[in-house]
Every structure is written in C-alpha cells, then in structure tokens.
Amino acid sequence: MSEWPHQYLRAALLQYIRSHAMKQPNWRFTQLEVLHDALARVINLQPGELCVVSCFIDAQRWYVMSTSRVFGIYRGTRFEFSPLQIRKCTWGDFKHEGQLQIDVAELLLTTGVKVTLAYEAGFASMAPIYYERFWHSRYPTLNQVADQPADPSDRH
C-alpha cells in the first residue's frame, strides 16, 4: 500500500491526530495506538501493521484504523479497505455538544462501495476524523516533509 515504514506512518498519524484531539482520558470506546482490550484477543494485525485508532462499542459496532487498512463490523456487515481508497466521508453530528454519543459515518470508496462505520462522537470523534484527513492532506506531502530538515539551522 505505502512505501513508508509502518513506524513512520504511525508516528505521523498520531502526531496529526493528537494535535487536534482533546480530553482523551474521557474517551469511553476509542483508543489511540493500541487495540481496544475487547479486540486485542480476537484481532491479528498483518506483519508490520500497527494500530493507530481502535474503537469497540459492542460486538456489532467496532473498527480498527491501522497503518495500512481500516477494518471492522457495523451491524453484522464486515468491512476492510485501504485508507487510500476513501473518496469521501460524511461524519454526521460528530460534536454532540461534547456529550458521549454514538454516531455513524458514511464512507464512499474509490471503488464506488459505500461503508457505514459507527464511531464515538464528541471529543473522541477527532481520532477517526483526523485519521481519514491525514491520508488526503498529509500523506501526499510526506516526501516533501521527509526531504526537509526538521530544524531550519540544519540547512547549509
């Protein structure tokens, strides 16, 4: 899927998500960087693949967003796709006035397939939203960022 190492992608994704996320200790269903406990017992990531966001609401509503794919279940329907296949996302009422709520996102893939994904609204919604945005806004520019020195004083 990507020529970038999984560790580099996860670091970039988490930095981008965390720069927009708030009140992470209050998130009930969503976790960054690790598989939710209820998923860790049943999910096997592919070799090298790293978890970025996971959300477990119940056995019929969960997802994992990794360094190479998005997969999960929504009301009995399994889904799996590359984040690079996302053409459009509609996140619904993700704010919910900061209250704990569950909402659904509608994702349209480049293949024309529509995927429904349940997510934790409120502050936790920033994790999946900015995961998705990363692949459209930051991922295409990783080559430019990687070629630039981190500190302007490093330039000769």
Beta-bridge partners for 73 = 62, 78
Q: What pLDDT does 5 receive?
A: 84
- For 33-85, the pLDDT digits (tens) are 999 889 988 888 999 999 999 999 999 999 999 999 999 999 999 999 999 99
Specify the pLDDT at position 97: 59
Q: Which domain holds residue 24?
A: 6-143
Q: Are 126 and 20 in contact (CB under 8 A)?
A: yes
Does residue 152 form part of some domain? no
pTM metric for this prediction? 0.84
Q: What is the pLDDT of residue 149?
A: 42
Q: Dihedral of the CA atoms 51, 59, 94, 44 (nearest 10)?
A: 10
Domain total of the chain: 1
Within a domain: 87: yes
pLDDT recorded at residue 22:
85
Residue-level pLDDT at 155: 35
The average confidence (pLDDT) of the chain is: 84
pLDDT tens readout for residues 76-126: 999 999 999 999 988 876 665 555 588 899 999 999 999 999 999 888 989
Residue 91: which CATH number?
A: 2.30.29.30
Within a domain: 84? yes
